[in-house]
Chain A
Amino acid sequence: MATTTLAGRQLDVNEEGFLTDPSQWDEELGTALAAQIGITLTDAHWRVIRFVREDHAVKGETPTLRRVSTVGGIPIKELFQLFPKKPAKKMSYIAGVPKPVGCV
């Protein structure tokens, strides 16, 4: 485990830079994390990020793209538009939760 600083805070992260303690996250930090990977968060992004946060809090694991689409109600196509190329990893990074482990 490593630490990094962002938005004037010290954060616990894994070797890739994903937050390891979801409680260190708030929406202001989410905005800063998104900016790190060139994403400006719109309402549509926030809908995804908030679902990922809530679902992770309830289920104890990060939802897969499929779950964000079937349970969160955000179509997969839209997820690819909002978080280009690697949507699952990007939304997890911004939401301050680990990468999803599910295959589908």
Chain B
Amino acid sequence: MLKQKILILCALLTLAALLLWFKIPVASSQGPTLIAARVTDALPSQDLNSALWQQATALEIPLSAQTVTRPMLLETNVKAVTARALYNDQQLAVLVEWADATDNSQMVRIQDFRDAVALQFPIVEGLPFVCMGQQGVNVNIWHWKADWQQDLVAWQDMNSVYPNMNVDSYPFAEGQNPAPSDYTDANYVPAYELGNLMATPHKSSVEDLTAGGFGTLTSQPLDAQNVQGHGEWNNNQWRVIFTRNLTSAETEDINFAEGKMYSLAFAAWDGANNERNGQKSTSEWISLQIGKPAPVTKVTTADTITATPPSPQEIAIPLGLIVVPLVLVILVRTLMGKDEEPSE
């Protein structure tokens, strides 16, 4: 019996190693499902109190501290978020709510950190590693930032936090309180000059990003930023709406279709606890169902993969998946002795 267990373990390990080798995402059990409710009206992209949200079922998703890679914080503050989703013919909207005792929407002082929340979608079938995806299997991240929300009202500057500050003049800049965009010589605001989205005026409070593993998080280009956001802090609670068109022409963006199931993970940061980067709370993968599951129909041409002969790799993977564990099983059995142990 023990030998059998070892054999099974060996086979599983081999399978896992092969999946990793060929960068095939390991599908794990999906968590709960967030069902996006269909509405015919325009989505309440700015209206947190719209009655339409009552049509969506709220789902509470537990969060825990990221403890896979450094830097990490063992005690993070956001323990759960509640999500609701709506969609219509054009768009998907997700409302995320969580408890937070403080509104941290300043990022000017050195000791300031923002409150933030993010949604993460794999952009291919299957589930990549839940923390930022993995090499070769990218994820699409929508990152809402409390300070960007504030910036849309008025760009936060030195005088937002130091109202009595006075400087005679700033060379190469126009005005007394120049924003990065007021510089006549942008060499003196290098992050702005290089188009770093941290430094440039925001189109939205949500940043649209791509990642494929730790340390690879990259903003999508400014003209590919297509997620809208709206967030408000009230009564020790953040409520944030993400809105995007169901389909996107960008290759690094997820596309949604009615009746289909997608994967989704959440992350949240409490600025008051100096949370930023990997120092955050994250969820496991959950499912996102857009409306009712589509009835099973025959494969349409649109769903058909372009007919091309299978590549050697495409043949090798399934072949390897069968042959290698088999060989290993035989090998282990041979090594452990030919006589079969009587089963219990």
Q: Verify that A and B bind, or say they do not.
A: no
- Listed in ascending order, the chain B residues whose CB lies under 8 Å from chain A are none
- Listed in ascending order, the chain A residues whose CB lies under 8 Å from chain B are none
